Amino acid sequence: MTVETPTRFSPLAEWQDRLAGLPSGLRVRELPFLTQLSLRAQPGSAAAKAVEACLGITLPDPVRAELSGDVKALWMGPDEWLLVAPDGRRQELLARLRDAIGDNGSASVTDVSAQRTTLALSGHLLREVLAQGCAVDLDPRVTPVGSCPTTLLAQAPVTLVVRDEVASAVWLLVRASFACYLATWLLDACTEYRGGTG
């Protein structure tokens, strides 16, 4: 019996042309289908150390992200991290991490790849545009590279990951059900910059 692979749909597949039409000072593109695994473990526990050894990273402290490796680790709560990797890594990473954790009932790794999509934003208008709907101060002195706050953007829950030294490149991880709303908001927030020098 042949098992068919289900067709995957990006929540913003039909938005790419509209997002490409934003002012030159803000570039937005979706990074669909990233592998996203939720890790639950006590910080400093044997399970957490096993995961760190397996991935070759250090699980980040509160409101921080570890961005140096192929697998990014985002702090999500006191005993929770989101592990983000390129598409196609889900099965391999699940197997490796579950093997590393073993039968330790105090830790778990769960596939949550379908819950969110990721928007990559960059450009010199980034901070100005996001400030219209987000209370996080993206001044690099306040929110340096590697910061990872979970916040609201235009009332939509997002995890914001600062990926650039001057805070001009971020990831926004947003629930798939909010993705189109957030894309609409970004288009509207950029209205005043169209046709100008931005």
Please report which confidence band the pLDDT of residue 43 belongs to, taking 50, 70 and 90 as the band edges. Answer: very high
Query: pLDDT tens across 74-98, in order?
Result: 999 999 999 999 999 999 999 999 9
User: In this predicted structure, what is the pLDDT of residue 166?
Assistant: 63
Please say if the pLDDT value at position 165 is more than 90.
no
Query: pLDDT tens across 175-192, in order?
Result: 999 999 999 999 999 998
- Do the Cβ atoms of 41 and 79 come closer than 8 Å? yes
The verdict on 138 and 192 lying in the same domain is yes
Q: How far apart are CA 104 and CA 195, in angstroms?
A: 58
Question: Of 112, 147, 162, which residue sits at a domain end?
Answer: 112
The verdict on 55 and 96 lying in the same domain is yes
- Do the Cβ atoms of 62 and 146 come closer than 8 Å? no
In a domain? residue 102: yes
Please report which confidence band the pLDDT of residue 164 belongs to, taking 50, 70 and 90 as the band edges. Answer: confident
The verdict on 103 and 137 lying in the same domain is no
Q: Which CATH number characterizes residue 170's domain?
A: 3.30.1360.120
Averaged pLDDT, 155-167: 88
For residue 108, the tally of other CB atoms under 10 A from its CB is 15
Per the confidence metrics, is the pTM higher than 0.85? yes
- Do the Cβ atoms of 176 and 116 come closer than 8 Å? yes
Residue 52's domain comprises 34-112
- Do the Cβ atoms of 93 and 85 come closer than 8 Å? yes
Please report which confidence band the pLDDT of residue 195 belongs to, taking 50, 70 and 90 as the band edges. Answer: low
Residue type, 140: P
Name 21's Cβ contacts closer than 8 Å, sequence gap at least 6.
none
In a domain? residue 8: no
4-13, 22-31, 56-65, 128-137: the lowest-pLDDT one: 4-13
Q: How far apart are CA 34 and CA 113, in angstroms?
A: 7
